[in-house]
Amino acid sequence: MYLYLQIGLSEVGIIFALITYYTTWEHFVTKNEAALMEAEHKQGENVSATRWIKFKETARDYLSIFKIRSFRKHLFIDGADQMAGNLNGLILTYFIVNVLGLNASVTAYLSSLSTFIGIFVMIAAGYVINKYAPRYMYGVAYGMALVSCIGFGLLGFIKPDHLVMWLLIVQIFSIFGGQLYGFIPGTVFPSLPVLDTLLTGQSRAGTFSSLAGLFEQGGFVITNILGEGVLQLSGFKSSTTGAVNQSPTVQLTLTLLISVGVGFFVLVALYNGLSFKADKSKLDLINEEVTRLKSGGKMSEASKEVKAVTKELTGEDYDSIAVWNK
């Protein structure tokens, strides 16, 4: 029985691997790219000089990509919502135990609930994102996250009766919002490098991915330092033998971190999300234009719609693009 199950799971894994292989935006290094990398490697008189050259080239690539309006907004969206989610996860257990006075097992229950609900949220989100522009889904996701921030703040200050019931209601908003904003940026991202290809003629999906990763990991570091640092400054008492009675200052700090602190990052993501103009139809239009130009099409033959969408999504005028004028 276990053998057949393992064979079946292996077959499913192979199918998913093949789907990934044939649909990924990444590609093998071409001969021209390999020759270019080899030439770059030989630049400079020593290893230090070569590394310095590569560092400057990478920084230049990052800067040029950051100038693309849609990708810049994507970075702020992804970075801010990662920071919001990380700070919430860092503080939630402390908040439940030390502010609300509930058992830590409540956190485990909420975590299990999040996993269960997340399955259905992902299925629904995968369908809806093909029907509506990402900015509308960002509005829903971050709107729900803001409601949960307000809810956590009210719970911390008021401490109403039936705390578990109210906590569950607030957490439902947090779960739905969190699952959505954890899903949308990763779904939108693979379509964005085509904007850079239109502007530069290059395929720099790897650079896009590394810059996005830099923002995400930087966000984790910042929120960890922020959360733990502020708690220590407020006088938080750690213990390995169980919950410790915390001072009113610590309780206030925990409440503010999970409401105002998380809410600030959610607002940053919400602002950029609502002003994020890229959607499937516009990105498909840009992709078609890039394909046309690669096939030898002339820039002078571009439609007004293409020019308008280029300006809207990249911040650059279509007629200012020089790479295709050959």
Mean local confidence (pLDDT), 95-108? 84
User: Could you tell me the two tokens for 312?
Assistant: 């809207």
pLDDT at 45: 47
pLDDT digits (tens, 9 = 90+) for 218-273: 888 888 888 888 888 888 887 666 667 888 898 999 999 999 999 999 999 999 99
pLDDT value of residue 254: 93
Model confidence pLDDT, tens digit, residues 135-169: 888 888 899 999 999 999 999 999 988 888 999 89
The per-residue pLDDT for 187 is 78
Q: Give 270-274's long-range contacts (Cβ < 8 A, gap of 24+).
A: 270/138, 270/139, 270/142, 270/143, 270/146, 272/73, 272/76, 272/77, 272/80, 273/73, 273/77, 273/134, 273/135, 273/138, 273/139, 273/141, 273/142, 274/135, 274/138, 274/139
Q: Other C-beta atoms within 10 Å of 61: how many?
A: 19
Q: Do residues 279 and 184 lie in contact, with contact meaning Cβ atoms separated by under 8 Å?
A: no
- H helices of 1-133, in order, are 2-23, 31-41, 47-66, 69-94, 105-128
pLDDT at 110: 79
Residue 245, both tokens: 């009675």
Residue appearing with tokens 């220590």: 232
Of 23-37, 94-108, 214-228, 308-322, the least confident: 23-37
Amino acid letter for position 138: Y
Sign of CA dihedral 196, 200, 206, 208: negative
Sign of CA dihedral 220, 221, 226, 227: positive
CA dihedral 47, 53, 55, 58 (to 10 degrees): -140
| pLDDT tens readout for residues 45-78 | 455 556 666 667 777 777 888 888 888 898 888 8
In this predicted model, which residue has the larger pLDDT, 229 or 124? 229
Q: How many CB atoms lie within 10 A of CB 24?
A: 10
Q: What's the mean pLDDT in 17-30?
A: 64
> Which of 283, 308, 267 is closest to 70 using CA atoms?
283
Domains of the chain by residue range: 63-277, 282-320
Q: Can you name the CATH fold of 63-277?
A: Growth Hormone; Chain: A; (1.20.1250)
First CA to last CA distance, the chain: 63
2 pLDDT more than 80: no
